Every structure is written in structure tokens, then in C-alpha cells.
Amino acid sequence: MIFSAFPVYAVLFALWGPDARTEDSFIAAVYEHAVILPNGTQSPVTQDDALMLMNKNLDVLEKAIKQAAFEGAHIIVTPEDGIYGWVFTRDTIFPYLEDIPDPQVNWIPCTDPNRFGRAPVQKRLSCLARDNSIYVVANIGDKKPCNATDSRCPEDGRYQYNTNVVFGADGKLVARYHKYNLFEPEVQFDFPKDSQIVSFETPFGKFGIFTCFDIFLHDPAVTVVEKYQVDSILYPAAWYNTLPLLSAAPFHSAWARSMRVNLLSANTHNTRMHMTGSGIYAPDGVRAFHYDMETESGQLLLSELKSRPRLWPSYPVAVDWSAYAKNIKPPSREYKEFGGKIYFDEFTFTDLIQARENYTVCENDLCCHLSYKMTEKRADEAYVLGVFNGLHTVEGQYYLQVCTLLKCQTTDLRTCGEPVGSAFTKFEEFSLSGTFGTNYVFPQVILSGSQLATEQQYEVTSDGRLRNRGAVSLPILVTALYGRVYEKDPPRLGQGVPPLRPL
């Protein structure tokens, strides 16, 4: 269904109201798009049929882009796979691809559409940016010919890349990024030979860009922030929510907070595949987010962000994630521990049997410490403290250190780690910390209904504690400190590690 009007979530704090806008801030927009999918993806279609499908999605995106521009947005991000969908083969995706040149060619497709061959999608995106004076970020497919002199050249004689493009407010192609970390079902696309760290300057800050699962890996995600010192990340995604630890909005907001950058995250919307959760996140908190498993409609989000957050006195200080925890002496009493799985990883859990207590649970050199106070210990809900310190090997391979407080699906402790959506137990106090061996730890607090806690409800201290703020009792589903130890990762997918299936 194509919607002619778009609901808009505008979160513009009073400090950044219309009268306070300066050249030091900009209006960001993201659009969570309910993608119109092709009838089938296993049989090839003609280029004309492919374009017809893509134009249906572009019709929806056009309305969102125009609405965002009308609301004053400087830039809008749309989702991964948002123009044609997913689950293609190499041959069936081919009619949807265009040759996307290096942005250094200085090209405005809107005014010179045939310079690099047939490019109707690039032309339309370029014109939408130009006609509405807004930066437009979209995800499409790139094709590049190759031959036998290239030992990596596929048998069909071409490379095909999952590609983000950015068109400036004048319609010029200003950035092109080939997704570096693919999943195995993305057989329609090739792994780029080298990591492409893409960044570009605008009048409202320096931007970096990558796609979906890239956020889990050091390259390009950490590199573009730390080495290239970008202010904001543009992030198209097609993210399958997997509670308790890998739901889109909590993880993405935690990443932005820990990396201390703005993150403009646009997810696809498909409730059947548990795809929802888009947001506009700043280093010091959530500006706007959307999570909706009830309807099939898209959603436009708008908010104001600081253009160069590092220059502001309020820029968050770096966190020493083990400073507090390494000085804690574990309780002298012993608690019963048991094993359980979260997203295929074998966690060590301990059951929270009291309404108020201090707990410690360890795996090797990672010890997780929790102190908490519930309003009451309910008999119909069970909570655990869990720890994982090891290599995750399903749907990618990457090394994790995780401390988490979470609600079990039922009072049967064998369900701990399974997805659960609601909670009635309320926590008056909680403080979670761990002896992490990494600086890359992403803090999450998820409340009943899979809602994000606000920065008024919790804080991250400079010594590495994730704890409640204020006197409000919180119906907690999950709190987590999700650590990534990049130096222990095996080679990325496409470089010798057999991939499994995607998120």
C-alpha cells in the first residue's frame, strides 16, 4: 500500500527550538520505509519491469523526502534494500542495478542522466535532492564489469555491490559506499576487495556512511569515527530485531552513545520479518526513535542535531569501562549459576532471588557486577544476571564481552535469554558494571514494550557503571553492557571465514 501522507515524529528539545537554530545545528530526517516487494525474486525480470517496481518505492520515498524538506530537514536517510527489496540471486538482481561512478567525476544525474549509461534511479534521486534542496541518502545496487585478468572476477564477468549513495542539495553525487560486511544470503552481491572508508564534508558537519551489519565490525564503523573524525554517521539498514540484545533501536542508540557521534539510522519496516526500529541519535542521547510492530505503515522522523558535537562543552567524556568493576570484591556468599543461550551464545546466569541484592557472575577474566532494588519480588516473573566472554560464531563471527540483566520469558529458568516483550517488575535502583578488556562497550536499557529508556531515567558514569537516574521505578526488560573485542575477531566474512545466514 502506498501512503499519501506521512506521520511525523518531531523531537525538538526546547533548547534547540526554531528560534535557537544556528549554523552549528541541522535538521536530520530518517524514513522507515515499508518496502513494496517484487512478486518473486528467483526468476529474472526485464529492466522495464524492475524499474516499474523501483518507481513504486520511489513514489513513496519521494513523498517522504518532500515532507522532510518542507519540515526544514537538511538531510534524509532511507533504508537498505528500500528501493527493490531482498532475497535475490545474482541474475535476478541484475536488472535492478546501475553503474554508479566514483563521486570524483563531478556528476549531477538530474541534469546529465546518460553520462554513465542507463541510470533512471540515480536521476530520480538526484532530482529529488535538487528540487527539494536536501541531501538524499539511499541504498541501491552498483554493477562493475571485470574480466579474466582479474583473478577475483566472478564467472558472470561483473562485480555487483550493495551500495549507498548520497546526493547533495544541488543533486550532485557526493558519496558512494559499497557495503563491506555482507551476509551469506546476499549472494547477489560481492564483497569489496578493500574496506572503503567514505566520508564527506557538508556545511553542517562531516559525515561518514556504512550499512547495516557493518556496525558490528571495526572496519569501517570504528575507523570512520576515530581515524576520520566524522561528526555524524548515515546508516541505512535492513535490521531483523532479535531480543534481548540485538533489537535495532537499543543497539544503534547505544552505539552512537559509546562512539560519541550522531547516528541517523533508517531501518526497513516489515513486521512479518520483525523489521522496525529507526532513530536519530546524538552522543548524549536519543533525539527521536520509532518502533512499531502493530502497523504496516512507514514513518518519518525529524530532529535537530549539533553539527559538530565534539566542539560543545556538553560532549560526553570517554568512559573507562572497567574502572569501577575491577575494584569490587565479589560477595563472599555463593550463588547458583546455570547455563543458557542468548542468540546462540552460551551465557552463564545467576537467578535474582531477592528483591534487593548484590550479585557477581564471571566467565574467565570478565566479571559482571549488579546491585539492584525491586519494588517487589514478583512470583510470576524471573530475572537473571548473565555474562558471556567469547567468540560469537553464528550469523557472523566476532568476539564479545557482555554483561546483562534481563527478564526471562517465563519463570522457568530454561527460558532465560528467549525474547520477551513485556515486564511488570519495577526496579527502583540498578547498577551494572563489568571488568571489560575493551573500550568498545555499548550500553542498553530496554523497558516493557521494547521501548527505549530515556537519558532522564539512566546514566553511564565515567567509571563504567550503567545505572538508574532519579526516583522513577522502571519496568525493565533488559539492561546490557555489550562489549566488542575487535582485536580478537577472525578474518571478516569474504576473507576465509565461511558465512552462515544473515540477521
**Helix H or strand E encompassing 102:** none
Condensed to tens digits (0 to 9), the pLDDT of residues 348-370 reads: 999 999 999 999 999 999 999 99
- Beta pairing partners, 280: 264, 288
Q: Is the model's pLDDT at 501 over the cut of 80?
A: no
Please, are residues 188 and 38 in contact by the beta-carbon 8 Å criterion? no
Q: Are residues 268 and 393 in the same domain?
A: no
At 76 the three-state DSSP class reads strand
Condensed to tens digits (0 to 9), the pLDDT of residues 325-346 reads: 999 987 777 789 999 999 999 9
Q: Are residues 34 and 80 in the same domain?
A: yes
CA distance 213 to 237: 8
Average pLDDT rounded to a whole number, residues 395-402: 93
Confidence of residue 499 (pLDDT cuts 50, 70, 90): very low
- As given in the structure block, the three cell numbers for residue 176 are 558512494
Q: Which domain holds residue 168?
A: 25-311
- Quote the pLDDT of residue 185: 79
Last residue of a domain, one of 272, 295, 311: 311
Q: Are residues 264 and 407 in the same domain?
A: no
Residue 183 lies in a domain: yes
- Quote the pLDDT of residue 194: 84
- Quote the pLDDT of residue 196: 85
Q: Is the model's pLDDT at 161 over the cut of 50?
A: yes
- Quote the pLDDT of residue 228: 97
Q: Are residues 375 and 257 in the same domain?
A: no
Q: Is the model's pLDDT at 1 over the cut of 90?
A: no
- Quote the pLDDT of residue 18: 35
Clarify whether 395 is annotated catalytic. no
- As given in the structure block, the three cell numbers for residue 125 are 534521486
**Which is higher by pLDDT, 492 or 264?**
264
Please, are residues 197 and 220 in contact by the beta-carbon 8 Å criterion? yes
Percentage of residues of the chain with pLDDT beyond 90: 88
At 120 the three-state DSSP class reads helix
Condensed to tens digits (0 to 9), the pLDDT of residues 78-100 reads: 999 999 999 999 999 999 999 99
CA distance 22 to 24: 5
Q: Is the model's pLDDT at 314 over the cut of 70?
A: yes
Task: Specify the number of domains making up the chain.
Answer: 2
Q: Are residues 245 and 110 in the same domain?
A: yes
Q: Are residues 302 and 372 in the same domain?
A: no
- Quote the pLDDT of residue 6: 52
Residue 227 lies in a domain: yes
Condensed to tens digits (0 to 9), the pLDDT of residues 237-272 reads: 999 999 999 999 999 999 999 999 999 999 999 999
Q: Are residues 349 and 306 in the same domain?
A: no
Q: Worst-scoring range by mean pLDDT, 17-26, 373-382, 455-464, 481-490?
A: 17-26
Sign of the torsion angle spanned by Cα atoms 151, 155, 156, 159? negative
Last residue of a domain, one of 246, 276, 311: 311
Condensed to tens digits (0 to 9), the pLDDT of residues 46-81 reads: 999 999 999 999 999 999 999 999 999 999 999 999
Give me the CATH number covering residue 268: 3.60.110.10
- Quote the pLDDT of residue 247: 96
- Quote the pLDDT of residue 8: 52
Greatest alpha-carbon span in the chain: 74
- Quote the pLDDT of residue 396: 86
Q: Is the model's pLDDT at 281 over the cut of 80?
A: yes
Q: Are residues 31 and 88 in the same domain?
A: yes
Q: Are residues 106 and 217 in the same domain?
A: yes
Residue 6 lies in a domain: no
CA distance 282 to 304: 10
Q: Which of 32, 80, 98, 363 is catalytic?
A: 80
Radius of gyration of the CA atoms of the chain, in A:
23
Residue 268 lies in a domain: yes
Q: Which of 63, 123, 179, 306 is catalytic?
A: 179
| CB contact set of 257 (below 8 Å; sequence gap of 6+) | 281, 283, 284, 285, 316, 442, 443, 460
- Quote the pLDDT of residue 498: 34
Residue 316 lies in a domain: no
Clarify whether 80 is annotated catalytic. yes
| Alpha helix ranges (H) inside 26-157 | 47-70, 90-93, 120-132
Q: Are residues 437 and 471 in the same domain?
A: yes
CA distance 320 to 329: 18
Q: Are residues 69 and 205 in the same domain?
A: yes
CA distance 208 to 219: 12
Residue 8 lies in a domain: no
Confidence of residue 7 (pLDDT cuts 50, 70, 90): low
Tell me the backbone φ, ψ of residue 368, rounded to 5 degrees: -105, 130
- Quote the pLDDT of residue 16: 37
The beta-strand segments (E) located in 376-499 are: 383-392, 398-407, 427-434, 441-447, 451-452, 458-460, 466-468, 476-484
Residue 328 lies in a domain: no
Q: Are residues 299 and 423 in the same domain?
A: no
Residue 3 lies in a domain: no
Q: Which of 127, 212, 368, 403 is catalytic?
A: 212
